[in-house]
Amino acid sequence: MIRVESTDGIALVRFERPPANAIELESATKLEETLARLEAEDATRAVVLTGHGEFFSAGLDLKVVPTYGPEQQRTMVMAINRLVGRLYGLGLPTVAAVNGHAIAGGLVVVLACDFRIGRRGSYRLGLTETRAAVPYPVAAMTVVTTELAPAVARRTVLLARNGTPENALADGILDEVQDGEAIIARALDVRPAPTR
């Protein structure tokens, strides 16, 4: 589900939960625990996050999460807040290597990274929570409103439309767009200066 490859102090974290790398309680918890472990390791100087296949992440797993009872739903919201808060405040530089679709919570994870590189292609990025009638957890909304210009945040959240990587680049959602597999090499190359 979460695969980590470390080279020269850079941890490449791949989220692999086919088909869409959607997030449910177990995967949110494991990803947050992985980030906490990497942050505690002296050998890790930066983290690169990417997905698997055609998706970076489709956000919440809308086949699993709606089946949760009230207590599990509360636990899920807390897990998302912990994950997004951990990533956004991580004491290591973070780079998102967006390999494919980044929808809803998947795009929030992208926005929580320090630098964001997208693959050139026909995939989509968007915050679709309002269309799906899913409320934003506090940490997610904090990241969205902090990382995006006010007009972009308003349009992205309220219209809930999916855009192209080029749209995301123009809106400041992505910092760069690269060809194909070059995103991983570029992400490893452009990592922000280490904090330790």
Annotated catalytic residues are: 129
Distance, CA of 174 to CA of 155 (rounded, Å): 16
Distance, CA of 48 to CA of 178 (rounded, Å): 15
Residue 2 DSSP SS3: strand
End-to-end Cα distance, the chain: 28
Based on its alpha-carbon atoms, the radius of gyration of the chain, rounded to whole angstroms, reads: 15
DSSP assigned state of 66: G
Distance, CA of 102 to CA of 22 (rounded, Å): 10
Q: Which amino acid is located at 100 in the chain?
A: G
Alpha-carbon distance values, 124 to 12, 53, 55, 56, 161 (Å): 23, 14, 9, 10, 9
Helix axes 70-88, 138-147, angle to 10 degrees: 30
